[in-house]
């Protein structure tokens, strides 16, 4: 499990082998089963996870009580509720495993004691935010069919592993509409 994280740091950061090994050894394995929550609304996020296997999603409930998927995260990606993590205020969202997930986690207190962690953390945040902005822009400006086609191009592996209701929610359409789009594509 830690090999994937090691490769991630080696490919994305200019770190010595010793620094990479020290960094990776600070992460601890954790399993989150399908349907279980890594973080719930109202809890304070004090952990960052690296997904070594599985798919997770962030979601909220809107005013009508509907479950709205905000984003998907999969292997080789980091995840936390950034606002809660930074401010130590209660989370306004949920982070849920939608497949069985193998994670490597690091607690905020431990991470903050690692030399150079702030610089690494800033780059992780930047990568994640750029990906989110790009995806949200596409979701806002494309038709439902185009959203689905783009999702097929970028995240077809997620489509095969998660319930369609979450993908429909992410697109902002009804599951029946997504089924019609899938049949016509």
The domain limits of the chain are: 2-114
Q: Write down the CATH superfamily of domain 2-114.
A: Jelly Rolls (2.60.120.10)
pLDDT per residue of the chain (185 residues) written in tens, 0 to 9: 799 999 999 999 988 999 999 999 999 999 999 999 999 999 999 999 999 999 999 999 999 999 999 999 999 999 999 999 999 999 999 999 999 999 999 999 999 999 889 999 999 988 888 887 877 776 677 888 988 988 888 888 998 899 999 999 999 899 999 999 998 87
Q: What is the pTM of this model?
A: 0.91
Give the whole-angstrom CA distance, residue 124 versus residue 105: 14
Give the whole-angstrom CA distance, residue 167 versus residue 55: 12
Quick check: helix, strand or coil at residue 9? Answer: helix
* 31 neighbors 92 (Cβ within 8 angstroms): no
């Amino acid at each position: 499990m830690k090999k994937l994280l090691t490769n991630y740091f080696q490919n994305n950061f200019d770190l010595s082998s010793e620094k990479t090994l020290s960094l990776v050894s600070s992460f601890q394995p954790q399993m989150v089963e399908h349907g279980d929550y890594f973080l719930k609304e109202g809890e304070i996020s004090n952990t960052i996870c690296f997904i070594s296997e599985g798919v997770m999603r962030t979601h909220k409930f809107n005013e009508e009580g509907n479950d709205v998927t905000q984003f998907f995260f999969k292997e080789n990606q980091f995840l936390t509720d950034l606002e809660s993590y930074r401010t130590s205020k209660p989370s306004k969202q949920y982070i849920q495993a939608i497949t069985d997930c193998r994670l490597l986690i690091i607690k905020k207190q431990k991470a903050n004691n690692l030399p150079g962690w702030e610089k690494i953390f800033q780059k992780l945040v930047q990568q994640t935010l750029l990906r989110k902005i790009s995806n949200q822009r596409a979701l806002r400006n494309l038709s439902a069919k185009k959203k689905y086609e783009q999702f097929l191009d970028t995240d077809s592996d997620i489509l095969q592993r998660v319930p369609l209701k979450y993908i429909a929610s992410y697109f902002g359409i009804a599951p029946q509409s997504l089924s019609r789009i899938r049949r016509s594509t």
